[in-house]
Each structure stands twice: as C-alpha cells, then as structure tokens.
Amino acid sequence: MRLTYLDNNATTQPDPAVVAEMNTYLTDVWANPSSAHRFGQRARLGVDTARQQLANLVDVDANEIWFGGGGTEVVNTNIRSLLAGRGERKKIITSTVEHNATSELAKQLARDGYNIVTIGVDRNGELDLAQLITEVDDETALVSMMWANNETGVIFPIEQVVAIAHGAGVPFHTDATQAVGKIPVSFRQAGVDAATFAPHKFHGPKGIGIGYARKGIRVKPLLHGGPQERGRRGGTENVPGIVGSGKAAELAKEHLKDIPRIKALRDRLENTILRTIEDTHVNGSRIHRTPNTSNIGFAQLQSEAILLLLSEQGICASAGAACSSGSLEPSHVMRAMKIPEAIAFGAIRFSLSRFTTDEDVDHCLSVLPGAIERLRKVLPVSV
C-alpha cells in the first residue's frame, strides 16, 4: 500500500542525511562530550557544531542556544526561568490556542498562585491585539505566545506582540515549534527574550528540544545535576540527537527555498477539496499561516471517521493536534475560534513538508471525495 504522509505538523520524516550524521555518533564518535580526552573532545566538537547550525537557522549567537529533552521540557524551563526573575509579579499572559506544553503548564502555575490571562482569537485564529494591549500592565510577569499554531498554521504577529510586552517592561517567550524550519525566523529581529523549538518538526530527531535565551537571561534548570549546558540542563548530552538536530537545521535553512513549491502543493490540495466536496470550510486564516498547513472542516461529520477511512488507504492526516487525538470533542483551538460545531467536529489537518510530492496530493484527492460521500450517507454527526 502506498503511504501518503500528510501529518507533518505532528512529526516529520528524518532526512537520510540526518540519520547518517547521527549514526556516526552512535557507532564511531560515541564518547562523553564532557570528557577531557581527545575522543571526548571529538564528541564535544559535534555538539558545538550543531549548536552553531541551530543558531544560524534562527539568527542568534551559538552560546544563546541550549539543549533539552524535548520541546515540552524546554517550554517549561524557559517559562519558569523568566518567571524566576520577576519578583512578586503573578500575572501571566498567554493565548487561548496554545499547545498543551504551554497551556498545561499555565494550569499548574495557576494552582501555584499565578493569575493566568488568556488572549482570545477571532474566527480566523488571529490574535486580539487590542485585548493584549489592555491586559499588559505593571503587574504582568510574562507574556508567552506561540509563533504559529499547530492546528491551523496561523502565524501570530510576534514582533508586534514583543513590542507591546517590552513597552511595559515585560519579558516575552515564544513557542516557535511550528514556525522554525517552515518559514524564515529571526529571534534576534523579533526581539524575543526566550524561545523554544523542536527539530523533529523539520526532519530531525525526536527527543530533543532546543532552547534559546538571549544574553542576560539566566536559565534556571528544570533538571538539576551536572554542569552541562553551562548549568542550564543537567545530564550527559544526547550527542547523536544533538548532531542530528544541527544537520536538520542546516538542511532546513537551505530548503527554505522550497516554500513556494510546498505552498503551491498545499493550495492545490485545499482548493480542489473546496471545489469538489460540498460543505467544506477552511478553519483559520488563509493569508497569515505557514505554507504547509491546511485545516479543513467537513460539515456534519466526525474527524475520526474520516481519518480511519483515509488511513485504510495509506493516507496519514490528523484531527488537529496529535497530542490530543482520540478525543471525540472539537479541539480547544476550534472552540477558541468559535468554529460552529457542525464544522469543528469534522476538522482535518493536512500538513505537508519538503518531501511531499504531487503524487501524494493526487492520491489524497483520489480517495477523499469517495470517503466523504460514503460517510455522509451513513455517519452524520449529531450536534
């Protein structure tokens, strides 16, 4: 059976060059990078090279990059680190459409006594900047918002958000996991104080999270142990994962030139679905979004049923966030956008990558109309 993978916001195929780079450090250069001998220093060189490659991708200095065990860990570390320097301020501002890595941490911080304020979005998933301006004040400890949404691809105006936060003397963190590697990103130009991203979203390995903290920001370790990562994260570095991440970053920067091709494929898939299948709706802005993502609502259907039929034909997509798959309820993102339930229940996320081909799109378009027609005859959603 042909595999058509259209779930790249969940994770991406590791690039073969990344796998080859990692294999070298699994089989040949397997020393501890903290060891003083020459063998250990070969591993250290691999870590240092990767740090520079990742810094180049997001336009920062190499010593501002640090490595964690995944994006969720890095989000937790970055946010807690920024809060540690804010004294008695207890107000945290985020958005209603954040990934669980941020929203679940916010719930825990609320239990710890913080006041969590969530900024809403409109029907297109666009951030309510007027509300943000009203909420940022001298009681605010931190603003943390995603760069791009994992379900809709909608891109927030990060430079404007940073300006609002900094105008009130408030630090800003961004979860840039769905932006880095898909669009040009400069943490330096945006002026963010801390940021998080993950290489498995741009054809690198899982189990690695990349942290950025600008000069002057002290990263308070979530995991205490040895002096690794300049005291920012204890534990022996995952050298194969780190060098694979660096190689993935190098390739991602090179392949930003593929954005127009990926966008054209996405648009062909989306426009054909809208034209050939009745009662379909794009969820989220069609302008301010990442070039690889299309979230389409198939009215009066359940997303799980659609995904099952697609999967039977080798087509991989998602009902929004992979981390919350299995739920029979519309996602918190769809609810925050106030998408009508008849559409939100049938929301499917198609997300492409540089490995997506015309044949992949053709395969999906050959299967999807029949699947939708079949389901509408037998499984209308009850709302």
Overall fold of domain 16-254: Aspartate Aminotransferase; domain 2 (3.40.640)
The question of whether 316 is a catalytic residue gets the answer no
On the question of pLDDT at 119 being above 70, the answer is: yes
On the question of pLDDT at 382 being above 80, the answer is: no
Q: pLDDT for 338-368, tens place per residue? A: 999 999 999 999 999 999 999 999 999 999 9
Rounded to 5 degrees, what are φ and ψ at 373? Answer: -60, -40
pLDDT value at position 320? 60
Q: Which of 349, 331, 326, 355 is nearest to 341 (CA)?
A: 331
CATH match of 4-12+257-378 with 3.30.70.890: no
pLDDT value at position 379? 61
> How does strand 347-351 pair with strand 140-146?
unpaired
Mean per-residue pLDDT for 249-255?
98
Q: Provide the H-helix boundaries in 59-151.
A: 71-84, 100-111, 129-135
Please give the residue that has the higher pLDDT: either 231 or 259. 259
pLDDT classification of 329: cutoffs 50, 70, 90: confident
Percent of the chain scored above 90 by pLDDT? 92
CATH 3.40.640.10 in the chain is located at 16-254
> How does strand 65-68 pair with strand 209-213?
antiparallel
pLDDT classification of 377: cutoffs 50, 70, 90: confident
Q: pLDDT for 172-216, tens place per residue? A: 999 999 999 999 999 999 999 999 999 999 999 999 999 999 999
Q: pLDDT for 80-106, tens place per residue? A: 999 998 999 999 999 999 999 999 999
pLDDT value at position 1? 83
Burial class from Cβ neighbours inside 10 Å (0-12, 13-18, 19+) for residue 231 reads: middle
**Most distant pair of Cα atoms in the chain: their distance:** 69
3-state secondary structure of 281: strand
- Range in 76-80, 82-86, 223-227, 315-319 with the lowest mean pLDDT: 223-227
pLDDT classification of 380: cutoffs 50, 70, 90: low
User: CA 289 to CA 113: how far, in whole Å?
Assistant: 35
Given the structure tokens 């995904």, which residue do they identify?
A: 307
Model confidence, pTM: 0.95
Please give the residue that has the higher pLDDT: either 379 or 167. 167
User: CA 182 to CA 351: how far, in whole Å?
Assistant: 11
Pick the catalytic residue: 323, 327, 357, 383? 323
Residue 32 neighbours by CB under 8 Å, 6+ apart: 40, 43, 236
DSSP class of residue 66?
E
On the question of pLDDT at 317 being above 70, the answer is: yes
Burial class from Cβ neighbours inside 10 Å (0-12, 13-18, 19+) for residue 225 reads: exposed
CATH 3.90.1150.10 in the chain is located at 4-12+257-378
Here the contacts of 371-378 (C-beta below 8 Å, separation 24 or greater) are: 371/306, 371/309, 371/310, 371/313, 372/277, 372/298, 372/301, 372/306, 374/309, 375/301, 375/305, 375/306, 375/309, 376/300, 376/301
Rounded to 5 degrees, what are φ and ψ at 372? Answer: -65, -40
Buried b (16+ CB within 10 A) or exposed e, 104-136: ebbeebeeeebebbbbebeebbbbeeebbeebb
CA-based angle 96:291:131, to the nearest 5? 25
Q: Which of 311, 313, 314, 276 is nearest to 296 (CA)?
A: 276
User: CA 154 to CA 108: how far, in whole Å?
Assistant: 26
Average confidence score pLDDT of the chain: 95
Q: pLDDT for 34-93, tens place per residue? A: 999 999 999 999 999 999 999 999 999 999 999 999 999 999 999 999 999 899 999 999
| Chain centroid to CA 149 | 7
As given in the structure block, the two tokens for residue 136 are 């940022």
On the question of pLDDT at 231 being above 90, the answer is: no
| Residue 80 amino acid letter | R
